[in-house]
C-alpha cells in the first residue's frame, strides 16, 4: 500500500500572503482532501531579517477565510512539531554537522567583504555570481588557524563537481540540471540559523511529507534539495511545481494588476467560495469547459496531473463574474448573514442596532441580483434604513422636465398616495402608471422623479417594491421634502 499523502503549506512570514501563495495553499489543501491525506502548516521563519510583524497572523487569517483548515501545524499541534522553524534549530544544526562528518559539507570562513569582492570580479569577467570554493579544500591546519582567529564560519554544502541532477516533477515531467551550474550553497549561517534549503529538506523529511506542491519559482532550487536528500540518505518526496501567475498583460502578477494580498479581496467584499473557484482555475482545470466548482466538487475532482504547465492568468473580470454568481447562489438568509456585519459597521448611527432582520428580508430580494460585491451593500440599501435622504435638484427634475413639471408630478403623486388603501407594489403601479398619462408625462419621467424623491438616488431597485418596503409615511415625508426643495429652488 502506498504511503498516506502528507502535504504542507510552508509560507515565510515575510509579508501578507498574496494570491500566488494562497493558490499554492489551496492546491495543497485540495490534494490532501482529495486523497484523504493530511495538510500541514509549517511556518518557515529562518530568515529573521525579513520577518514582518503580524505576518504570521495574516497567514492564519487568509487560510481561515478561504476555509483551508490544517490538520497539523501551529495552533493545532501534531506529532511532528514544532511547526515553527525557529524552534527547530537543533535539528538543522545536527543535520549540518552530520553532512560535515560525512564529507558532504564544509565550514566556510570567507568574510562578507571577501565574498563581495569576489562577486564584483566575477561580474567584471561576465561570470554568473558563484562561490569560488576557497574553503572547500582547506587542510585541517588551515582550518585550525581560522578557528584560532575567532572567525565564526558558515556551513556550505558540497555540490558534486560534475554530473547531472534530475528528478521527475508531476507537472513539469523530467527535469535535469548540470551540477556545474549549481553553487556550493550555504546551509547553516553564522548565527546558527539554517538557510531555507536545509531547513526545508530536513523538515519535509522529518514531517514525512510525501508531495511538495509549490510555486515554480522554487524549481531551480529543487536540484539542490535533491542533492541534500541524497547526502542525508533521505528519500525525496515527489515534487509538483505550480505555474507562475500572470496578469492579463502576461507580466508577472504584481500590484499593478490590482490588489495582490488575498485579504484585500475579503475586505473588498468578495466571497471566499468565489475566490476559491477563481484561484483553482489559475493553473488547474477539469476539462476545457467546466468553470463552476463547489468546494465538494473540487475535493472530488482535483488532481495534480491536471495542473497546467503554462502560466496562469489573473483575470479580475472573471473574479468579478464568479463573485456575482456566488452571491446570486446564496439564499436570502445566507446573504443576510454575510451582509449584516457590514451593515452593522457601516450604516449611520441613527439606524437602530441590531439591524432589523425582517426589514432586511424584504429588502434583500430587491437588490440580490444587482449585488456584485458584498461591500456595495451599504450604499445600495442605506436609504431604506435612514430617516431622511438628501435630494439633488437636477436629479429630481430629470431629463426633458422642468421644475414646474416635477413639482406638479410630486404634488399629484403625494395626494394620490395619501389616500391609497393598500400601500403595496401592485396598487402603487396601478395608481402611478395612469397618473403619468394624466400629467402628460412619460412613465419614465414620473417614475424617475419619484425614485429620486423617495430614495435620494437616480439608480435604485424597482420603484414600486421599493416604495412598498419604505412604507407610506417615509415616502410621503420624502416627497414632501423634495417638494420643499424644488419650490425653494424654483
Ligand atoms: N518558505 C517558502 C515560501 O515562502 C516555501 C517554499 C516551499 O514550499 O518549499 O515560499
Kindly write down the DSSP assignment for every residue of 39-69, as one continuous string: EEE-B----GGG--TTHHHHHHHHHHHHT--
| Cross-strand bridge partners of residue 72 | 40
pLDDT tier at 175, thresholds 50, 70, 90? very high
Looking at ligand 1, which atom is closest to the CA of residue 8?
Answer: 8
Residue 233 scores a pLDDT above 70: yes
**CA–CA distance from 15 to each of 20, 54, 156 (Å)?**
13, 8, 28
Alpha-carbon span 235 to 224, nearest angstrom: 14
Looking at ligand 1, which atom is closest to the CA of residue 11?
Answer: 4
Residue 155 scores a pLDDT above 80: yes
Instruction: From 152, 155, 160, select the one nearest 180 (Cα to Cα).
Output: 160
Q: What is the pLDDT of residue 247?
A: 81
Q: Is the CB of 214 under 6 A from ligand 1?
A: yes
Give me ligand 1 centre to Cα 138, in Å: 33
Give me ligand 1 centre to Cα 300, in Å: 26
Q: Is the CB of 10 under 6 A from ligand 1?
A: yes
C-alpha cell at 276: 476559491
Mean pLDDT of 26-52: 96
Looking at ligand 1, which atom is closest to the CA of residue 213?
Answer: 8
The pTM assigned to this predicted structure is 0.92
Mean pLDDT of 254-274: 89
Q: What is the pLDDT of residue 360?
A: 97
Alpha-carbon span 249 to 29, nearest angstrom: 29
Residue of 45, 200, 240 to test ligand 1 pocket, by largest number of atoms within 8 Å of CB: 200
DSSP 261: B
Q: What is the pLDDT of residue 1?
A: 55
pLDDT tier at 334, thresholds 50, 70, 90? very high
Mean pLDDT of 378-398: 96
Mean pLDDT of 194-221: 97
Residue 175, helix vs strand vs coil: strand
Q: What is the pLDDT of residue 73?
A: 97
Q: Where are the alpha helices (DSSP H) in 420-471?
A: 425-439, 443-455, 463-470
Ligand 1, atom 5, residue with closest C-alpha: 10
Give me ligand 1 centre to Cα 121, in Å: 31
DSSP 294: -
CB–CB of 26/272 below 8 Å? no
pLDDT tier at 490, thresholds 50, 70, 90? very low
Residue 74 scores a pLDDT above 80: yes
By DSSP bridging, strand 105-108 and strand 154-157 are: antiparallel
Strands of 6-9's sheet, edge to edge? Answer: 72-73, 38-41, 6-9, 211-215, 238-242, 164-169, 173-178
Q: Is the CB of 85 under 6 A from ligand 1?
A: no
Residues above pLDDT 70, as percent of the chain = 99
C-alpha cell at 411: 404634488
Give me ligand 1 centre to Cα 97, in Å: 24
- Which has more pLDDT, 399 or 202? 202
Alpha-carbon span 304 to 27, nearest angstrom: 8
Ligand 1, atom 10, residue with closest C-alpha: 11
Mean pLDDT of 73-84: 95
Q: Is the CB of 44 under 6 A from ligand 1?
A: yes
Q: What is the pLDDT of residue 322?
A: 97
Alpha-carbon span 185 to 59, nearest angstrom: 29
Instruction: From 167, 176, 175, 183, select the one nearest 118 (Cα to Cα).
Output: 183
By DSSP bridging, strand 312-314 and strand 245-247 are: parallel
Q: Where are the alpha helices (DSSP H) in 347-471?
A: 357-367, 377-385, 393-397, 403-419, 425-439, 443-455, 463-470
Q: Where are the alpha helices (DSSP H) in 40-155?
A: 55-66, 89-101, 112-124, 140-148
Looking at ligand 1, which atom is closest to the CA of residue 44?
Answer: 1
> What are the phi and psi torsion angles at 26 (to 5°)?
-60, -45
Amino acid at each position: 500500500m502506498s504511503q498516506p499523502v502528507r502535504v504542507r503549506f510552508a509560507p515565510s512570514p515575510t509579508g501578507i500572503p498574496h494570491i500566488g501563495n494562497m493558490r499554492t495553499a489551496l492546491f495543497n489543501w485540495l490534494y490532501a482532501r482529495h486523497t484523504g491525506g493530511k495538510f500541514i502548516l509549517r511556518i518557515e521563519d529562518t530568515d529573521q531579517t525579513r520577518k514582518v510583524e503580524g505576518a504570521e497572523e495574516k497567514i492564519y487569517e487568509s487560510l481561515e477565510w478561504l476555509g483551508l483548515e490544517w490538520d497539523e501545524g501551529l495552533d493545532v499541534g501534531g506529532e511532528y512539531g514544532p511547526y515553527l522553524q525557529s524552534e527547530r534549530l537543533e535539528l538543522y544544526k545536527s543535520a549540518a554537522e552530520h553532512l560535515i562528518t560525512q564529507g558532504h559539507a564544509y565550514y566556510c570562513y570567507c568574510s562578507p567583504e571577501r565574498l563581495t569582492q569576489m562577486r564584483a570580479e566575477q561580474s567584471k569577467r561576465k561570470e554568473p555570481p558563484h562561490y569560488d570554493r576557497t574553503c572547500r579544500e582547506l587542510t585541517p591546519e588551515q582550518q585550525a588557524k581560522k578557528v584560532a582567529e575567532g572567525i565564526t564560519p558558515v556551513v556550505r554544502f558540497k555540490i558534486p563537481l560534475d554530473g547531472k541532477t534530475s528528478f521527475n516533477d508531476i507537472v513539469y515531467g523530467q527535469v535535469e540540471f548540470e551540477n556545474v551550474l549549481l553553487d556550493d550553497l550555504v546551509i547553516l549561517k553564522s548565527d546558527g540559523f539554517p538557510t531555507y534549503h536545509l531547513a526545508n529538506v530536513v523538515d519535509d523529511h522529518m514531517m514525512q511529507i510525501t508531495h511538495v506542491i509549490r510555486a515554480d519559482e522554487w524549481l531551480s532550487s529543487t536540484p539542490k534539495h535533491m542533492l541534500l536528500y541524497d547526502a542525508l540518505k533521505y528519500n525525496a518526496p515527489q515534487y509538483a511545481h505550480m505555474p507562475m501567475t500572470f496578469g492579463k498583460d502576461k507580466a508577472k502578477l504584481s500590484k499593478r494588476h490590482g490588489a495582490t494580498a488575498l485579504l484585500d479581496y475579503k475586505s473588498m467584499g468578495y466571497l471566499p467560495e468565489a475566490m476559491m473557484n477563481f484561484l483553482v482555475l489559475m493553473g488547474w482545470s477539469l476539462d476545457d469547459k467546466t468553470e463552476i466548482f463547489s468546494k465538494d466538487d473540487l475535493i472530488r475532482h482535483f488532481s495534480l496531473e491536471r495542473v497546467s504547465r503554462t502560466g496562469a492568468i489573473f483575470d479580475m473580470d472573471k473574479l468579478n463574474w464568479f463573485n456575482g454568481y456566488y452571491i446570486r447562489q446564496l439564499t436570502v438568509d445566507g446573504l443576510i448573514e454575510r451582509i449584516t456585519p457590514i451593515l452593522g459597521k457601516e450604516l449611520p448611527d441613527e439606524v437602530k442596532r441590531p439591524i432589523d432582520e425582517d426589514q432586511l428580508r424584504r429588502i434583500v430580494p430587491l437588490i440580490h441580483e444587482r449585488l456584485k460585491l458584498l461591500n456595495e451593500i451599504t450604499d445600495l440599501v442605506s436609504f431604506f434604513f435612514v430617516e431622511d435622504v438628501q435630494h439633488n435638484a437636477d436629479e429630481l427634475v430629470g431629463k426633458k422636465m422642468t421644475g414646474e413639471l416635477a413639482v406638479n408630478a410630486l404634488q399629484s403623486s403625494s395626494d394620490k398616495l395619501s389616500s391609497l388603501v393598500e400601500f403595496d407594489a401592485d396598487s402603487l403601479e396601478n395608481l402611478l402608471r395612469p397618473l403619468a398619462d394624466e400629467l402628460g408625462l412619460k412613465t419614465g419621467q414620473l417614475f424617475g422623479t419619484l425614485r429620486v424623491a423617495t430614495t435620494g438616488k437616480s439608480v435604485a431597485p424597482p420603484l414600486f417594491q421599493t416604495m412598498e418596503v419604505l412604507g407610506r409615511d417615509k415616502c410621503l415625508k420624502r416627497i414632501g421634502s423634495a417638494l420643499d426643495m424644488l419650490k425653494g429652488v424654483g
